């Protein structure tokens, strides 16, 4: 067993300090004021398909994105140029990534698209026991509206196959219900039901994860939605995502507590225009009090050079804060290595460690994956996981066969 034993107590520092809530409020107020005074900078964009497949700006920089959205154009000059060249929209454009452009009225652009992430998994707990289940983790319909000011937009996202655990079945299936407003090319504010960035992977959309399944950190501590307000900033040498939320999860037990979440990173190699690759170094903290108090904090490193990609993330949790709150402490990390052997074929490997510090139980996963890309957001996925747990005398073997699929990219090919 590795990483066993006690981890220093952060609860006294972060949750018992009587000035902590005051400090959080002050930091957030400053960040909300930043869009008014921010200085526009030149965006970093990738111009070829292979580069976009290897290093995705939405994934590395925007942090919270939930599938391709109209508001992505805020950060993408190529989309702006395409929109300028477009003189007249057809009904088909309503289903394309560019959307349908209205000639007049309060709505400038609108689009509808469907996103799917899922497939089949085979799980073998022992050599004699083989079970097959269907894994359909995301099955969403999106309606995106950009208003005439070209700064304000509305996002409605509904996941028909989202797992439910309360009587509020209709509202719990919303995976996005918010209004966003851009102040300039570098600043965006979102208000409503949106993704909370607990850790790097916990804050990115399902369409952007490298392997079919998320890491144990995301499954246990993150990857959920809450109602709140967040400020997202993207600059050449850094980015951040900071917000205050209702302590509930997916319209469950609303206004029962508070939550503060912040993720910030630097990108120091951007001054070399990709000569030495792309590096992101960041940290995150999430503190809240609902059914129980919790603090989750950690850091991540992402690096990409040409066809090579690697990442690392570590999180420590004093109180659990995922889709279901929990007491106790936990920590873990994962690291991934990926390489494009062909422009559209990617091979990956990941080591994933997670430990419940309350009972010292350790869970380890070794993954190997293969992805084939048709477009940056349409791909076939294969993943094999070898898992070992202290609570089980035998390791398990799991194979995922699945896909990411988005209709707007499909209609772009027509």
Closest to 97 in 3D by CA, of 140, 67, 58: 67
State how far the Cα of 4 lies from the Cα of 67, in Å rounded to an integer: 38
State how far the Cα of 244 lies from the Cα of 77, in Å rounded to an integer: 30
Which pLDDT does position 135 carry in this prediction? 62
For residue 173, give its domain range: 11-412
Closest to 336 in 3D by CA, of 357, 318, 313: 313
Give the pLDDT means over successive 10-residue stretches in the chain (414 positions): 40 43 45 40 31 30 35 42 56 87 92 91 66 72 94 93 67 87 94 91 90 91 87 96 84 75 96 94 91 88 96 92 68 97 96 91 95 90 92 86 87 76
State how far the Cα of 248 lies from the Cα of 18, in Å rounded to an integer: 23
Residue 3 lies in a domain: no
Which pLDDT does position 70 carry in this prediction? 35
Which pLDDT does position 334 carry in this prediction? 98
State how far the Cα of 4 lies from the Cα of 353, in Å rounded to an integer: 11
Buried-state track 133-169, b at ≥16 Cβ within 10 A, e below 16 = eebbbbbbebebbbbeeebbbbbbbbbeebeeeeeee
Provide the token pair at 108. Answer: 């400038």
Provide the token pair at 24. Answer: 């959080």
Residue 1 lies in a domain: no
State how far the Cα of 222 lies from the Cα of 215, in Å rounded to an integer: 10
State how far the Cα of 337 lies from the Cα of 70, in Å rounded to an integer: 31
Provide the token pair at 34. Answer: 């930043």
In the three-class reduction of DSSP (H, G, I as helix; E, B as strand; rest coil), residue 245 is classed as: strand
State how far the Cα of 285 lies from the Cα of 15, in Å rounded to an integer: 12
Closest to 312 in 3D by CA, of 339, 281, 340, 286: 281
Q: Is the dihedral of CA 140, 383, 298, 364 positive or negative?
A: positive
Question: Would you give the DSSP letter of residue 86?
Answer: -
Which pLDDT does position 39 carry in this prediction? 34
Number of domains, the chain:
1
159 touches 176 (CB < 8 A): no
Provide the token pair at 12. Answer: 């006294």
State the DSSP H helix or E strand holding residue 107, giving kind and residue range, or none if neither: strand 107-124
Residues 6+ apart with CB under 8 A from 220: 320, 322, 330, 332, 354
Residue 116 lies in a domain: yes
Question: Would you give the DSSP letter of residue 252?
Answer: B
Provide the token pair at 136. Answer: 């359909």
Provide the token pair at 191. Answer: 């208000």
Which pLDDT does position 151 carry in this prediction? 95
Beta bridge partner(s), residue 372: 345, 380
In the three-class reduction of DSSP (H, G, I as helix; E, B as strand; rest coil), residue 98 is classed as: coil
Provide the token pair at 163. Answer: 């797992």
Buried-state track 371-381, b at ≥16 Cβ within 10 A, e below 16 = bebebbbbbeb
Which pLDDT does position 11 carry in this prediction? 42
State the Cα angle at 324 between 201 and 389, rounded to 5°: 70
Residue 172 lies in a domain: yes
Residues 6+ apart with CB under 8 A from 187: 34, 35, 38, 231, 232, 233
300 touches 282 (CB < 8 A): yes
CB count, 10 Å around CB of 13?
A: 12
Closest to 290 in 3D by CA, of 244, 256, 335, 241: 256
Which pLDDT does position 223 carry in this prediction? 80
The reported pTM is 0.77
Largest CA distance in the chain: 66
Q: What CATH number is attached to the domain comprising 202?
A: 2.40.160.10
- Tell how strand 107-124 and strand 130-147 pair up: antiparallel
Closest to 320 in 3D by CA, of 269, 231, 249, 373: 249
Beta bridge partner(s), residue 385: 367, 398
């Amino acid at each position: 067993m590795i990483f066993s034993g006690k981890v220093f107590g952060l609860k006294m520092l972060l949750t018992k300090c009587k000035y902590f809530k005051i400090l959080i409020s002050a930091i957030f107020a400053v960040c909300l004021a930043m869009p008014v005074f921010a200085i526009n900078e030149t965006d970093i964009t990738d111009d070829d398909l292979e580069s976009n497949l290897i290093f995705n700006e939405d994934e590395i920089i925007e942090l919270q994105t939930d599938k391709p959205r109209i508001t992505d154009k805020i950060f993408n000059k190529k989309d702006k140029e395409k929109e300028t060249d477009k003189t007249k929209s057809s009904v088909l454009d309503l289903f394309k990534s560019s959307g349908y452009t209205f000639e007049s009225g309060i709505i400038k652009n609108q689009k509808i698209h469907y996103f799917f992430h899922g497939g089949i998994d085979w799980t073998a707990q022992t050599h004699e026991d083989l079970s097959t289940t269907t894994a359909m983790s995301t099955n969403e319909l999106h309606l995106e509206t950009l208003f005439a000011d070209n700064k304000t937009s509305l996002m409605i996202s509904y996941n028909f196959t989202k797992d439910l655990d309360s009587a509020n079945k209709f509202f719990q299936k919303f995976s996005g219900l918010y209004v966003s407003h851009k102040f300039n090319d570098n600043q965006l504010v979102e208000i409503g039901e949106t993704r909370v960035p607990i850790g790097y992977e916990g804050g990115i959309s399902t369409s952007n994860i490298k392997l079919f399944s998320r890491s144990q950190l995301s499954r246990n501590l993150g990857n959920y939605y809450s109602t709140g307000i967040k400020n997202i900033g993207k600059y050449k040498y850094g980015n951040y995502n900071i917000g205050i939320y209702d302590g509930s999860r997916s319209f469950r037990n609303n206004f029962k507590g508070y939550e503060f979440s912040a993720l910030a990173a630097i990108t120091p190699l951007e001054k070399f225009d990709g000569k030495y690759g792309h590096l992101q170094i960041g940290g995150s903290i999430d503190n809240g009090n609902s059914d129980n108090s919790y603090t989750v904090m950690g850091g991540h490193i992402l690096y990409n050079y040409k066809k090579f990609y690697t990442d690392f993330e570590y999180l420590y949790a004093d109180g659990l804060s995922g889709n279901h709150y929990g007491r106790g402490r936990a920590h873990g990390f994962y690291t991934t290595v990926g390489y494009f052997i062909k422009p559209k074929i990617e091979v990956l490997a990941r080591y994933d460690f997670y430990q419940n510090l309350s009972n010292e139980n350790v869970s380890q996963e070794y993954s190997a994956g293969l992805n084939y890309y048709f477009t940056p957001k349409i791909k076939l996925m294969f993943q094999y996981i070898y898992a070992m747990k202290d609570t089980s005398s035998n390791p398990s073997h799991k194979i995922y066969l699945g896909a990411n699929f988005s209709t707007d990219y499909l209609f772009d090919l027509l």
